[in-house]
Amino acid sequence: MNVMLLDDEGKNKTYNMKKEADSMKKEADSMKKEADSMKKETDSMKKEADSMKEKDELEECLVCFDTISNKKYVECELCNRKCHKDCYNRFVRKNPFFSMKCFQCQTKSINFKKKKRYNSCCFC
C-alpha cells in the first residue's frame, strides 16, 4: 500500500509539472502575440510617417494645385507657402490688392525663386 501511495505522489508531481509547463507555454504564446501586434502597430505608424513626409515633399501651388517641380515659383518668407510664378502673376493681375502679398497670410513677404539646377559640364 505504501508503494501505491508513492506512485500516486509521483504521478501527481509530474501531472502538476506538465500543467505548469502548459500554462507557461500559453503565457509565452500570448506574449508573442502581443509583441507581434505591437510590431504591426509600429510598422503602420512608420508607414503613416513616411506617407506624411512624402506629402510634405510634394508641394502644390496655391492657385492651380499642381505640384511645384522645376518651374519658377514664388515663396512667402513668413508661412513658406509656394505657388508658380505664372499663376501668381495671373492672380495678381485679376486681384491687384495682392501684389507682393502672400495669398495665405496676406503679408508683404514674397520672394521670387527659381529651383537651382546644377550643371556639371561647366564651371562658369
Query: What total of structural domains would you count in the chain?
Result: 2
Q: By residue range, what is the domain housing residue 84?
A: 72-114
- Average pLDDT for 72-90: 87
DSSP output for 49-76: HHHHHHHHHS-B-TTT--B--SSEEEEE
90 and 44 housed in the same domain:
no
43 and 79 housed in the same domain:
no
Q: What's the pLDDT band for 15 if we cut at 50, 70, 90? A: confident
User: Is residue 65 in some structural domain?
Assistant: no
Q: Would you state the pLDDT for residue 2?
A: 47
Q: What's the pLDDT band for 43 if we cut at 50, 70, 90? A: confident
6 and 40 housed in the same domain:
yes
User: Is residue 121 in some structural domain?
Assistant: no
Q: Is the pLDDT of residue 124 over 60?
A: no
Q: Would you state the pLDDT for residue 1?
A: 44
> Which of 118, 123, 117, 121 shows the shortest CA–CA distance to 72?
117
